[in-house]
């Protein structure tokens, strides 16, 4: 099967849906295709049945499936085509896509523009080098979330959780409410990357202890997990301190230890990558180093709020539509956006010299700052300053710049 | 007199609050804004939560359907809500917003579906 489309959006989660919708709104005559590997669109939102989504974007609190449902309903009113159960295998630097599905076999798709919206996946046990045997019962938190919330399976009855990211915290409450006993949440760092709200409403509400500076040092069991041993670590070296081991009898270990943007396709196409975000390097239109290829959402950098994903995806979708309608516009010169002195990364990583109007730069800090002061400079000139009572690594921040004032490379840094 | 320590969750600051209940009088310390005081009093007098969970479904493409209480319910009633909805067996098709049970566990709040679940053929 061979297809020719104006815009191919890879991934039908929140980023892909918002990008396709915005492209269609800008140019309704365009032929837009969303390629999704699951049975239905919506992505990971479909398994995030807790609430807290949409406060910024819709002005109300929704659960994940409800948030996705709003976008799916809008997309269904348009001419946008969604291919589900279809896995993209390859993307090349001429925007040719190779995909496969049970229904259509191999599918070749040629697109005038491509939006990368593949999201991210979880770090697994393999990335952590946890000693011990290899029994059943070790899951990533997101895998357990899908099993409980969508497939109707309980992965276990007595649970230890490693990592206090939001998915781990949410799953601690979820497993408890479904009748399991969550013994403890161990966190390697001296702080949680999860939201305060989740620590309070998922752990404190259910009397689940959270142990900072702790990690898993052993997993026991032949066929199935029988016990998990955690130990305190030296905060400086992260090495376990002998004599601090505690063993919990349990049948399940959940891992909530970070997310990795899923960029195999991006790498295969030869797109320039950012080593810090593990996503593509993009300009203010979210265009990557390959003309006509755009990226947005968690595949570009891991977001904490889906509302921000939707906004970023709208920008990428609009840019893709303008690219198709206006043809390739050669960018003569880029100014780079440098993150330094406490700022871990900034997106976009570069801004075209002819950019104009208001322009949002998203960034994360590397440590907790209270109070926090961010300064953006172009050479000696201060372009913008942002003060806040607190900035933490867990919360993505945004600063709005006037693109007309950017005359050279810019720098984002924290100041006392 | 009753004293409780808690973390305010109204914003990322996460102030450590100390809330004291003396009869019908509440005092909050440790907060840095008005919202922290409101939060502390609410949590001390009657903490409320929206329950988001799932129910078993008969005849759907998926065996479960996610659902939530249409409004927040007292934290103390969460267990009763979970036990009551464990008895429910709604029949597919189910659509977002559909009421699965009215006045769940005597809270006066209804339970609504938060996902679609098509009927299996």
Q: Are B64 and B75 in contact (CB under 8 A)?
A: no
pLDDT at B4: 92
pLDDT at B37: 94
Size of interface A-B (CB pairs under 8 A): 74
B11-20 residues labelled b (16+ CB within 10 A) or e (exposed): bbbbbebebe
CATH class (in words) of the domain with range A331-416: mainly beta
Among A324, A365, A374, which residue's Cα sits nearest to residue A344? A365
Q: How far is CA B25 from the centre of its chain?
A: 26
Among A272, A267, A261, A256, which residue's Cα sits nearest to residue A298? A261
User: H-type helices in A77-165, by residue range?
Assistant: 141-146
Minimal C-alpha gap between A197 and chain B (Å): 5
Task: For chain A, give the mean pLDDT.
Answer: 95
In this structure, what DSSP letter does residue A93 have? T
Minimal C-alpha gap between A53 and chain B (Å): 12
pLDDT at A355: 92
pLDDT at B107: 96
Q: Are A135 and A218 in contact (CB under 8 A)?
A: no
Q: Which residue bears the tokens 């970023």?
A: A312
Structural domain of B12: 2-45
Q: Apex CA A353: angle with CA A349 and CA A354, to 5°?
A: 125
Q: Are A50 and A175 in contact (CB under 8 A)?
A: no
Question: What is the DSSP pairing of strand A86-91 with strand A96-101?
Answer: antiparallel
Summarised one tens digit per residue, pLDDT across range B22-55 is 988 999 999 989 999 999 999 999 999 999 999 9
For chain A, the structural domain boundaries read 1-122+259-329, 124-257, 331-416
Is residue B73 located within the same domain as residue B36?
Answer: no
Is residue B68 located within the same domain as residue B34?
Answer: no
Is residue B33 located within the same domain as residue B81?
Answer: no
Q: Is the ipTM of this complex over 0.85?
A: yes
The mean pLDDT values, 10 residues at a time, for chain A of 416 residues are: 97 98 97 97 97 90 96 97 98 97 97 98 80 88 97 96 94 97 96 88 96 95 95 95 97 94 97 97 97 98 94 97 86 92 97 93 93 94 93 90 94 94
Which residues in chain B have their CB less than 8 angstroms from residue A63's CB? 52, 66, 68, 114-115
pLDDT at A77: 97
A177-211 residues labelled b (16+ CB within 10 A) or e (exposed): bbebebbbbbbbbeebbbbbbbbbbbbebeebebe
Q: Which of B115, B117, B118, B120 to mutate to test the interface with A (most CBs of A within 10 A)?
A: B115
Is residue B59 located within the same domain as residue B38?
Answer: no
pLDDT at B75: 95
Look at residue B120 and tell me if it is in a domain: no
pLDDT at A392: 86
Number of Cβ within a 10 Å radius of residue B5: 9
Is residue B36 located within the same domain as residue B57?
Answer: no
Confidence of residue B121 (pLDDT cuts 50, 70, 90): confident
Asked if A176 reaches chain B (Cβ–Cβ under 8 Å), the answer is: no
Give the pLDDT mean for B83-97: 96
Is residue B77 located within the same domain as residue B106?
Answer: yes
Is residue B28 located within the same domain as residue B9?
Answer: yes
In this structure, what DSSP letter does residue A315 have? H
Asked if A206 reaches chain B (Cβ–Cβ under 8 Å), the answer is: no
CATH number, domain with residue B74: 3.10.530.10
Work out the widest C-alpha separation in chain B, in whole angstroms: 61
Query: Do the domains at A124-257 and A331-416 have one common CATH topology?
Result: no
CATH class (in words) of the domain with range A124-257: alpha beta
On whether the A1-122+259-329 domain is CATH 3.50.50.60, my answer is yes
Look at residue B119 and tell me if it is in a domain: no
pLDDT at B13: 77
pLDDT at A416: 83
Asked if A196 reaches chain B (Cβ–Cβ under 8 Å), the answer is: yes
Is residue B59 located within the same domain as residue B76?
Answer: yes
Which residues in chain A have their CB less than 8 angstroms from residue B9's CB? 195-197, 200-201
CB contact under 8 A, A51 and B50: yes
Classify burial at A236, counting beta carbons within 10 Å of its beta carbon; exposed 0-12, middle 13-18, buried 19 or more. exposed
Q: Can you tell me the distance from the alpha carbon of A3 to that of B74, in angstroms, rounded to the nearest whole number?
A: 55
In this structure, what DSSP letter does residue B120 have? P
Please give the tally of structural domains in chain B.
2
Summarised one tens digit per residue, pLDDT across range A237-265 is 999 999 999 999 999 999 999 899 999 99
Is residue B65 located within the same domain as residue B99?
Answer: yes
Is residue B58 located within the same domain as residue B96?
Answer: yes
Q: Can you tell me the distance from the alpha carbon of B106 to that of B69, in angstroms, rounded to the nearest whole number?
A: 12
Is residue B68 located within the same domain as residue B33?
Answer: no
Asked if B98 reaches chain A (Cβ–Cβ under 8 Å), the answer is: no
**Residue of chain A minimizing CA distance to B86:** A178
Summarised one tens digit per residue, pLDDT across range A346-394 is 999 999 999 999 999 999 999 889 899 999 999 899 999 999 988 988 8
Nearest Cβ partner of B68 from A63, A149, A395? A63
User: H-type helices in A327-411, by residue range?
Assistant: none
Nearest Cβ partner of B49 from A46, A174, A201? A201
**Residue of chain B minimizing CA distance to A67:** B114
Asked if A85 reaches chain B (Cβ–Cβ under 8 Å), the answer is: no
Asked if A50 reaches chain B (Cβ–Cβ under 8 Å), the answer is: yes
């Amino acid at each position: 099967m061979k297809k020719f489309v104006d815009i191919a959006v890879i991934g039908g989660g929140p980023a892909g849906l918002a990008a396709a919708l915005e492209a269609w709104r800008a140019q309704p005559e365009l032929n837009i295709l969303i390629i999704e590997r699951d049975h239905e669109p919506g992505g990971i939102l479909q398994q995030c049945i807790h609430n807290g989504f949409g406060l910024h974007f819709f002005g109300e609190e929704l659960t994940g499936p409800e948030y996705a449902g709003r976008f799916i309903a809008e997309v269904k009113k348009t001419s946008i085509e969604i291919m589900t159960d279809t896995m993209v295998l390859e993307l090349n630097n001429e925007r040719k896509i190779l995909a496969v599905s049970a229904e259509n076999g191999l599918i070749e798709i040629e697109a005038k523009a491509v939006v990368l919206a593949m999201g991210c996946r979880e770090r697994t046990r393999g990335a952590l080098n946890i000693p011990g045997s290899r029994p059943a019962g070790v899951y990533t938190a997101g895998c357990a979330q899908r099993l409980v919330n969508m497939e109707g399976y309980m992965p276990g009855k007595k649970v230890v959780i490693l990592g206090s990211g939001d998915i781990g915290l949410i799953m601690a409450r979820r497993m408890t409410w479904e009748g399991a006993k969550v013994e403890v949440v161990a966190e390697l760092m001296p702080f949680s990357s999860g939201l305060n709200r989740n620590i309070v409403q998922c752990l404190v509400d259910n009397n689940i202890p959270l142990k900072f500076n702790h990690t898993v040092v052993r997993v026991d069991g032949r066929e199935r997990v029988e016990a998990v041993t955690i130990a305190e670590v030296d905060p400086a070296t992260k090495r376990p301190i002998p004599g601090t081991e505690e063993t919990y009898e349990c049948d399940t270990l959940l891992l909530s230890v970070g997310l990795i943007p899923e960029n195999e396709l991006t790498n295969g196409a030869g797109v320039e990558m950012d080593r810090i975000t593990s996503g593509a390097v993009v300009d203010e239109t979210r265009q990557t180093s390959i003309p006509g290829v755009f990226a947005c959402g968690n595949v570009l950098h891991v977001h904490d709020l889906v509302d921000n994903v939707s906004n970023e995806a709208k920008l990428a979708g609009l840019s893709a539509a303008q690219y198709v309608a206006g043809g390739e516009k050669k960018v003569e010169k880029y100014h780079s956006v440098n993150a330094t002195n406490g700022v871990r990364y900034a997106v976009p990583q570069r801004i075209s010299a002819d950019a104009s109007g208001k322009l949002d730069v998203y960034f994360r800090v590397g440590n907790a700052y209270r109070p926090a002061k961010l300064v953006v400079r172009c050479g000696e000139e201060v372009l913008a300053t942002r003060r806040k009572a607190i900035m933490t690594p867990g919360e993505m921040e945004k600063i709005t710049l006037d693109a007309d004032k950017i005359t050279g490379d810019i720098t984002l840094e924290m100041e006392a | 007199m009753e004293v409780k320590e808690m973390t305010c969750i109204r914003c990322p600051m996460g102030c450590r609050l100390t809330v004291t209940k003396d009869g019908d009088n509440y005092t909050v310390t440790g907060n840095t804004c008005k919202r922290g005081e409101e939060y502390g009093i609410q949590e001390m007098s009657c903490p409320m939560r929206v329950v988001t969970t799932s129910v078993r479904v008969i005849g759907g493409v998926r065996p479960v359907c996610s659902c939530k209480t249409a409004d927040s319910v007292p934290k103390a009633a969460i267990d009763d809500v979970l036990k009551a909805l464990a008895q429910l067996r709604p029949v597919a098709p189910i659509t977002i917003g559909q009421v699965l049970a009215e006045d769940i566990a005597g809270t006066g709040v209804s339970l609504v579906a938060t996902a679609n679940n098509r009927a299996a053929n």
